[in-house]
Copies of this chain bind each other. A is one copy, B any other.
């Protein structure tokens, strides 16, 4: 595998800046997978003693036998051995996890029902590389129900739920993934998905771009039969835009990361809740009366500010963009420079996507017991490295919680070592994952069925009508009743009764 190692592979892109970002991102994903993993498994009695704040490491500890799955001979009950998972015998337990997830992913289940007659993915051969969780399993089995054949690897070496992988293998899905893969394992699994005799993928579902990258490197000819790529992550999308700019993108790609529904749920609505959750679980603090500064008033910042204001905190905002700044003003937040309030605030939250927003100088000036955390992007926003100096003492007081102590005894409380608080210290609700998975499924259907010429070798946003469709599939969860346009009204507005209902530049 020496030729295929991660460093060689990725360095081939020669794009230093975002490669650094990608590396950051990857670390984040490790955490994320851990979190998602925890959530599902923690439902079970057998795992009920799992600490909410346990680090990724604890998961690998729990592996009960040392033999590599690659060395095992396993068969599912139908006799197939076209898979590689930790332990096929865990299938029944994983199936239960999947069934619980099905209850909370009504949109995918609705897609299955609607597709009982027609199979919009009949003939599709999808190779996928994502986190392997109960929610992903619901997605995969939905794709199957819609007519597709699937082969799947994990996009992260820690995030696979072994039980779920086993259940998928038992159900006939060729899955190659287990928790605690080595980097070599990682690429081996991906290769086993694509390098098959008598089977060639015609669709790619990727999360992070590694699968896409692998095919580019090893099997460029495969792209002749591939109808398109669906990519979910910020990083993977970034890579695709780079390829497109460089004229190297040879199939259409769908950027599902920037669809309206996904953005609002991943950012505004999800963070509105997870900022409170993350702070409570780590610090047990009381929000009422606390002074908080939120750096950045994008969707994430808006969510954090709204939640904390509602809980009785006094919130200040910093911004670089005057439009967002004016929004902060109109929403009732004082717009300040960080320096103006750094001495008085009880909490500092970064939501900028920028780097070194909180510097050592800021950290030096914070008051005793100030809490510092990051809700933004990656782990660059707080200059944590600057705190690793001899005169400061670090004291780990809980998992994900460090006290950094100054020589004069002042201590600041640093959460998740500056990584994403919401991924590290709270959970992502299944409802949010449901929206993402539905968007992915629809993007695959769209690309697979699009008439010749609709999509060129470029990166596309999900068509607005599909975005609207994802939303409509989730309305029944809230017993929400949509109004239909009359013919007369549709004509008056110049709209189709079934949408799309807004111009592309509409801001929601």
Q: Taking beta carbons and an 8 Å cutoff, which residues of A are in contact with B? A: 17, 39, 42-45, 48-54, 103-104, 258, 260-261, 263-265, 269-270, 272-273, 276-277, 280-281, 284-291, 299, 306-307, 309-314, 318-338, 340, 344, 353-357, 368-369, 380, 395-399, 426-427, 429-432, 461, 467-469, 471-472, 474-475, 477-486, 488-489, 492-494, 499, 501-502, 504-505, 507-508
Taking CB atoms, residues of chain B closer than 8 Å to A52 are: 51-52, 281
Q: Could you say which of B273, B289, B324, B471 contacts A323, with CB atoms under 8 Å apart?
A: B471
Q: Are B355 and A492 in contact (CB under 8 A)?
A: yes
Task: Give the docked Cα–Cα distance between A76 and B357 (Å).
Answer: 50
Task: Give the docked Cα–Cα distance between A17 and B270 (Å).
Answer: 42
Task: Give the docked Cα–Cα distance between A369 and B106 (Å).
Answer: 13
Residue of B nearest to A284 (CB): B427
A-B pairs, top 10 by smallest CB distance, nearest first, are A310-B310, A335-B480, A322-B472, A289-B329, A322-B471, A288-B330, A286-B429, A321-B501, A312-B332, A284-B427
Q: Are B354 and A320 in contact (CB under 8 A)?
A: no
Q: Are A335 and B478 in contact (CB under 8 A)?
A: yes
Taking CB atoms, residues of chain B closer than 8 Å to A291 are: 334, 478-479
How many identical subunits does the complex contain?
4
Q: Are A333 and B314 in contact (CB under 8 A)?
A: yes
Taking CB atoms, residues of chain B closer than 8 Å to A312 are: 269, 272, 329-332
Q: Are A320 and B288 in contact (CB under 8 A)?
A: no
Taking CB atoms, residues of chain B closer than 8 Å to A44 are: 397
Q: Could you say which of B265, B329, B356, B504 contacts A475, with CB atoms under 8 Å apart?
A: B329
User: Are A103 and B368 CB-contacts (below 8 A) given A289-B478, A480-B325, A507-B508?
Assistant: yes
Q: Are B272 and A482 in contact (CB under 8 A)?
A: no
Residue of B nearest to A427 (CB): B284
Q: Are B340 and A481 in contact (CB under 8 A)?
A: yes
Q: Are A280 and B426 in contact (CB under 8 A)?
A: yes
Q: Are A482 and B398 in contact (CB under 8 A)?
A: no
**Shortest beta-carbon distance from A484 to chain B in Å:** 7
Taking CB atoms, residues of chain B closer than 8 Å to A307 are: 310-311
User: Are A488 and B325 CB-contacts (below 8 A) given A273-B288, A312-B332, A507-B260?
Assistant: no
Q: Could you say which of B260, B329, B395, B504 contacts A288, with CB atoms under 8 Å apart?
A: B329
- A sample of 26 inter-chain contacts (CB < 8 A) reads A17-B494, A44-B397, A48-B51, A48-B396, A48-B398, A48-B399, A269-B312, A272-B288, A272-B312, A276-B280, A285-B429, A286-B429, A289-B330, A289-B478, A291-B334, A314-B333, A321-B468, A323-B508, A326-B474, A327-B508, A335-B478, A335-B480, A335-B482, A344-B479, A355-B488, A356-B488
